[in-house]
Chains A and B, each alone.
Chain A
Amino acid sequence: EDKVVQSPLSLVVHEGDTVTLNCSYEVTNFRSLLWYKQEKKAPTFLFMLTSSGIEKKSGRLSSILDKKELFSILNITATQTGDSAIYLCAVENNNAGNMLTFGGGTRLMVKP
């Protein structure tokens, strides 16, 4: 059974801080790892990392995938209050179509 564990469970920082969110996984036939941001309801897509794309960057957010050690990190630099959200990590199994296995999420609060 595929499994995703995220840490920390929650995090409180101040604006301008840099944060690192962790995601470790076990998957029988890895296809991709995805990061989502959930503010109120709908999770919104951030990054997809695959064997051919193990590092992604978009503005202040960046993510890397370590396929050997089976983990990924999501970095947010110069945090802003608008970054406050739950960050979800998920893995996709090659044998399972669009079925994603999600971690429990990391709740990030950025204080002014």
Chain B
Amino acid sequence: KAGVTQTPRYLIKTRGQQVTLSCSPISGHRSVSWYQQTPGQGLQFLFEYFSETQRNKGNFPGRFSGRQFSNSRSEMNVSTLELGDSALYLCASSPREAGELFFGEGSRLTVL
């Protein structure tokens, strides 16, 4: 069974640009969550989708947005990038509405 797949794995952007990250959950998993990981702040929750509906949103500015498609694949978008957005963005899926999360390898974003 394939794990959580995230693309791209690495990307470099400049300030002011926007970026879209993609996540394919484990087959059959309907919940997809996104986390930002930085050395200073650790793992912080961005948002969670279940059956195409955003159920929870973390304390991030409106520049961070996401969506989930009918096949459970999810994308997150960050607009008007800032240097502080440089981070590892982790996607996780779960087969249930609550329970352990299975993480992908992450997308490493560097903003110059």
Contact = CB atoms under 8 A, between A and B. Distances in A.
Nearest to A46: B100
Interface residues of B, number: 28
Given A41-B106, A42-B105, A45-B102, A97 B97 contact: yes
Interface stretch (A17-25, A72-80, A99-107): A99-107
A52 interface: no
Contacts of A105: 42-43
B68 to A, nearest CB: 12
Given A99-B45, A102-B42, A43 B99 contact: no
Interface of A: 31-32, 34, 36, 41-45, 48, 88, 90, 92, 96-105
Interface of B: 3-4, 31, 33, 35, 42-45, 48, 50, 55-56, 58, 88, 90, 92, 94, 97-106
